[in-house]
Amino acid sequence: MSKLDNDLYLRALMQEPVERTPVWMMRQAGRYLPEYRELRKEAGDFMSLCRNAELACEVTLQPLRRYALDAAILFSDILTIPDAMGLGLYFEAGEGPRFKHVVRDQAAVDRLPIPDPEDELGYVMNAVRTIRRELKGQVPLIGFSGSPWTLATYMVEGGTTKNFSEVKGLMFAQPKVMHQLLDKLAQSVTSYLNAQIAAGAQSVMIFDTWGGVLSPRDYREFSLRYMAQIVDGLTRHADGRPVPVTLFTKNGGDWLAEMAAVGADALGVDWTTDLADARQRVKGEVALQGNMDPSILYASPERIEEEVKTILASYGSGGGHVFNLGHGIHPEVNPDHVTAFINSVHQHSPQYHK
């Protein structure tokens, strides 16, 4: 087993005792940091950063130099898999990700390959290996992927969307085609995450950003079912220790009990669900990660500290909690407010672990 200086995050995910609540932030490597914006300017564009292992490593490590975080997360994008399937990912200024080719019928699904993670996605594995080496055991490295349903929304819509008309249209009009697409994506995500684990990721997370736009029945059929398939196929032990798996469905608070039953080690919770309620729903089956509203970071350090105390009290005593935002940090946040957030977790969480 390679030694970790700080394994609080991994222990909390496995519901083992910890001295304080570990903390990291979704999108902690990124646009709110001036040093990231400088590096991106040098690289030219977002995907050039992702495809260069040294630069991706530098971006991953930037927040760890500023803050006493308990985990690093691979700097990459959830849309690497559709890009590797040949859909032509590009980014429009002010509009987010777009694809040159969309997937809206049987023929388009049939054409999709299942990417080889060490070939078409080899740049991600090179980044994982580089980051793991440069971390030198300081904190664990989290790998990640988008969920099949979330990836499908971008692939069918051709980019971001407000009303999900194309993807829901396909789901309702041609459910068989949608299931074939989701199955291909589940196979791709499984091999992609297993390759990240083999390359050195010590925990993995599946981001189901758009699962919350589905009805409960459709969520079970078109999202949760495929995340369960992935969880079943993941490497769960590497490097002499367990590799914890976290599922996160944004706006999925009502389904936490069903999510807990699929076999992951932890569930992400957004700010629309109280952690006390979430803890009750999962009945100790899984650890919980979350769930501060990212917008709190616009407030004063004193208000941020109050919110941290409220969330810690809501979860209550004992292990199984990783403190995080309920979604990614906003680009306009003052980095000093993040310091107040992290310090507050460090200061006020030990009392819950005596």
Residue 51 annotated as binding site: no
Positions marked active-site: 27, 31, 40, 77, 154
Strands (E), the chain: 72-73, 89-92, 96-99, 141-146, 203-208, 237-238, 241-242, 245-249, 266-268, 287-292, 321-325
Residues 6+ apart with CB under 8 A from 182: 148, 149, 152, 222, 226
| Residue 276, helix vs strand vs coil | helix
Q: What is the DSSP letter of 244?
A: -
Residue 327 annotated as binding site: yes
- Residue 72, both tokens: 């690093």
Residue 154 annotated as binding site: yes
Cα dihedral 344, 346, 347, 349 sign: positive
Residue 190 annotated as binding site: no
Residues 6+ apart with CB under 8 A from 143: 74, 128, 193, 196, 197, 201, 203, 204, 205
Q: Return the amino acid letter for 84.
A: A
Q: What angle do the packed helices 225-233 and 148-157 form, to 10 degrees?
A: 120
Cα dihedral 53, 58, 63, 67 sign: positive
Residue 31 annotated as binding site: yes
Binding residues for substrate: 27-31, 77, 154, 209, 327
Binding residues: 27-31, 77, 154, 209, 327
